[in-house]
Structure 1
């Protein structure tokens, strides 16, 4: 019998130092993974944590990880050729098929860029399947910017706005992502969707700004970052009201997400 909670060893094939606090690990993995899903990553006798997939391809997945605790500190000590234990993928996904042949606005904050990057790469590679892609991506400062090469790549096909919270740098606007939503020509879109991923407070105010600009709740999709423990709906650590985020999420339409408050 297959034990869905049993981690299995996977080989790390490369490590990219995105910033001083975030690394991207590419890991051998044949599991079919959908946009927005997550895995539970672990080191024996150290711990386990949920990490969203930031990249995927034939026989591999990538995770962009921030150093914030004992487990991630241990993962940062791993290198190409080492073993990382994983189980998954878990959770639901962004409805990418519903996004096709429409306009798409993606708003990300900080490491919230990681869970949406596979969507962006998909439509970069399949631009004939989307009317337009509009990307607002915000970072605290220039030292916190992730995925430099892909941000440059996205400029060639997407309408992009990259912004720093309170500082200036070449190629970046200044201000919170909410301040730049008005620059997107939402009133010219016949049919569209909006994806927001980032810190909860950022998602809250970005959604409010979108609603103030006439966007319908049903057009907005968000992804919740929660402390998943079992990832299969048994422990209740990720439960909000009666909703198990690990099972029904982490992706939610805003019509439901607006009521998911701790």
Structure 2
């Protein structure tokens, strides 16, 4: 499968420019982390790549074809999206929520196969205990694990296809163990050939799991490249307007912020 590409993308909300002139690609078999300050345009970029935002300029290509030319059902076979906030209008159970990721496969999979794939994904996110519980009674972290199971099931529905997995703050609300588990699940699919883009706020997680890192500031892409050189403490300190240091021991990397403010770059 060809890359998922943004070419000169601009998104507006009325007269406000949310992102401007962003070009990047998500490649099969790689994990691309998108980082940046709050309100920088990271989620807007992800939704544009997913085909969920109208563009004011530029284009998004999926398999060398404009994403607007894809039918919704076909698009569901090609990319799975975990938004930052997921709303559920009906009193579904955890298993039913996870099964929603397989709606596009109902013509090919039996109800039994759909149930098995959804249960397998719930087990992977340690959410199988919520299979029969109403989604509305779950905590924020429990809901996040159920929603993650939904997109993992969607990715696993057809072993012959390698869809792109787009994750917007997938570890928000999760404890540390489940944060690692969630990103390890994404990493396993990268190793299987899928392309993953994840919006992350945790620099340590980006360093641990990403192959490449993109930095978005004020609606623009300001840096893109291999994780280690992009995650430079001096650059990060300027991006986040606070001192950031990098520690290394036994081959591992950790980023710490001792606090305080610095003047942002001009």
Of Structure 1 and Structure 2, the greater helix share is in 2
Larger RCO, structures 1/2 (Cα 8 Å, 6+ apart): 2
**Which bracket does the TM-score occupy, shorter chain normalised?**
0.3 to 0.5
Length-normalised TM-score, structure 1? 0.35
